[in-house]
């Protein structure tokens, strides 16, 4: 009985790592700009396909290929594909901010919600036109042979996803609390107008927030593709679960968002071990329960407006 529980916990932590990256992306944009990218799920899918396409090109295959066949990209090709993914996704985040958020941010109403949703629909439609709806099996950068220890089997890609998520969390925590960049971001998050008067380029900080957030979404898709196959529809569930993790942990608390993402992944895996059809019910019941008693999340702080 212990082995299946440990297996479910480890698998849940790996998937929760992807959720945590998405949740962290939501937190970065919310704390800095007080807006959210509601096309974050489509950005996850885009990251998977951009990385896959980069691998196709380096192997001499057409971008629209539906299989890698017997060709396996090496570690160098995987690293280049990752860098391409982060760069392209960062550029998409820059475009999203300037075209879909900045023109509407600060104005009455929530036009930016519709503009970000529309950006995601456009992104998905372009993807369908290029690659089609068929999922593609993507080889992992660390192989697909199952590693077994203490009776538990785990794929190397799952361990890599977990390790990357933890590393990103630690690096971001260090940047936010120990560097001038982090202090600048916190200043803009606290009061953008005062930060601007102090000489901080608030536009640059906000653009940077969307660039980093989009890059994290792309990284999540790149890491998930070898686990769950690359699909233009994979990001919807991942984006929704990542947002749920952020709501549980507290959108205003990056650490809490990461913890919420991991917790959601473990819960999902544990319920799946019991009865898979109750997985979604348990996940969103937890979200509703937490928000009913803690509207700002478990680790979020109530925002006090002084008048």
62-82: burial string, b at 16+ Cβ within 10 Å, e else: eeebeebeeeebeeebbebbb
CA distances from 265 to 8, 112, 161, 165 (A): 10, 29, 12, 13
Instruction: List beta partners, residue 192.
Output: none
Q: State mean pLDDT over 121-138.
A: 90
Phi then psi for 297, rounded to 5 degrees? 90, 170
Residue 88 near residue 103, CB atoms below 8 Å: no
DSSP H or E stretch at residue 86: helix 75-96
225/46 Cα distance (integer angstroms): 11
- Ramachandran area for residue 216 (φ above 0: left; ψ -120 to 50: alpha; else beta): alpha
Q: What percent of the chain has pLDDT over 70?
A: 95
pLDDT at 141 over 90: no
Tell me the pLDDT band of 1, cut-offs 50, 70 and 90.
low
To which residue do tokens 């220890």 refer? 149
What's the pLDDT tens digit per position in 205-255? 889 999 999 999 999 999 998 888 888 888 888 999 999 999 999 888 888
Encoded tokens for 7 = 């297996």
pLDDT at 262 over 70: yes
What's the pLDDT tens digit per position in 33-56? 888 888 999 999 999 999 999 999
**pLDDT-wise least confident of 67-76, 105-114, 155-164, 176-185:** 105-114
Q: In three state form, how does the secondary structure of 88-147 look?
A: HHHHHHHHHHHHHHCCCCCCCCCHHHHHHHHHHHHHHHHHHHHHCCCCECCCCCCCCCCE
187/193 Cα distance (integer angstroms): 10
Q: Give 28-80 as a DSSP string.
A: HHHHHHS---TTHHHHHHHHHHHHHHHHHHHTT--TT-S--TT----HHHHHH
What pLDDT, on a 0 to 100 scale, did the predictor assign at position 186?
Answer: 80
What pLDDT, on a 0 to 100 scale, did the predictor assign at position 304?
Answer: 52
Model pTM score: 0.90
Give the CA count within 13 Å in the CB-facing half-sphere of 5: 2
Query: Residue 149: helix, strand or coil by DSSP?
Result: strand
What's the pLDDT tens digit per position in 177-191? 888 888 888 888 777
């Amino acid at each position: 009985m212990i082995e299946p529980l440990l297996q479910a916990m480890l698998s849940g932590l790996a998937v929760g790592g992807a959720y945590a990256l998405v949740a962290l992306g939501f937190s970065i944009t919310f704390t800095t700009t007080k807006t959210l990218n509601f096309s974050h799920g489509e950005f996850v899918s885009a990251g998977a396909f951009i990385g896959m396409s980069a691998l196709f090109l380096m192997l001499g295959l057409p971008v629209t290929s539906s299989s890698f066949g017997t060709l396996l990209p090496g570690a160098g090709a995987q690293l280049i594909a990752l860098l391409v993914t982060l760069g392209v996704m960062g550029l998409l985040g820059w475009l999203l901010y300037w075209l879909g958020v900045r023109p509407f941010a600060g104005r009455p109403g929530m036009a930016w919600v519709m503009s970000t949703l529309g950006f995601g629909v456009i992104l998905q439609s372009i993807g369908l036109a290029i690659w089609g709806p068929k999922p593609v099996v993507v080889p992992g950068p660390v192989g697909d042979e199952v590693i077994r220890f203490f009776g538990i089997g785990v794929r190397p890609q799952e361990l890599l996803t977990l390790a990357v998520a933890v590393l990103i969390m630690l690096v971001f925590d260090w940047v936010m609390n120990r560097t001038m960049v982090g202090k600048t971001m916190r200043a803009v998050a606290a009061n953008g107008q005062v930060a601007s008067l102090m000489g901080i380029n608030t536009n640059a900080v906000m653009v940077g927030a969307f660039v980093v957030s989009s890059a994290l979404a792309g990284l999540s898709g790149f890491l998930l593709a070898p686990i769950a196959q690359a699909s233009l529809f994979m990001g919807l569930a991942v984006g929704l679960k990542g947002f749920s993790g952020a709501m549980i942990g507290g959108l205003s608390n990056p650490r809490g968002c990461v913890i919420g993402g991991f917790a959601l992944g473990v819960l999902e895996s544990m319920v799946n071990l019991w009865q898979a059809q109750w997985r979604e019910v348990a996940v969103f019941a937890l979200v509703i329960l937490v928000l009913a008693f803690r509207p700002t999340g478990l680790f979020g702080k109530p925002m006090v407006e002084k008048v």
